[in-house]
Amino acid sequence: MYSSIKWIVFVTGWMTFRAVGSTLFLFWTITGNERAAPSEWVLPLIGDFIIGTTAFFLVYGILKKPSSFLWGILLSWNILGLIDLIGAIAISLSVPYEPIPEIGLTSLGVRFILILNTFLQISCLYFLFKSEVKNHFHKL
């Protein structure tokens, strides 16, 4: 397996953490916890939940059932994830959120994670257009 495919698998799998964090923050918001996200954050958190929960299924597809259709889904998924992240970065600048400052998730920590994930998704978009990656998905 090419290293670019391994990178796409890693980054796609990494995005499952978006579901974990957003589930916790959305739960706090629903239950009225003192650490709840401001209402402006609800849409980006729902986007994170969707991107994160679908990541697991995409990793399985990349490894077990590559196809042209899956390549298109991955392309769309990364673009949607990128749009969600850019929106979250914009919101983090206008409505800072510090969910768990004890472990470094201050507004700066949140922005760092959002920017890191943005670069990771951009790298996936780049690798999706490499010939060996296209061949991996279009070989069937």
Average confidence (pLDDT) over 124-130: 97
Query: In terms of residue numbers, what domain contains 110?
Result: 3-138
Number of domains in the chain: 1
Q: Which two tokens stand for residue 135?
A: 């061949």
Q: Which two tokens stand for residue 41?
A: 């954050």
Q: What is the pLDDT of residues 32-91, one digit of tens each?
A: 999 999 999 999 999 999 999 999 999 999 999 999 999 999 999 999 999 999 999 999
Check: pTM over 0.85? Answer yes or no: yes
Report the SS3 class of residue 24: helix
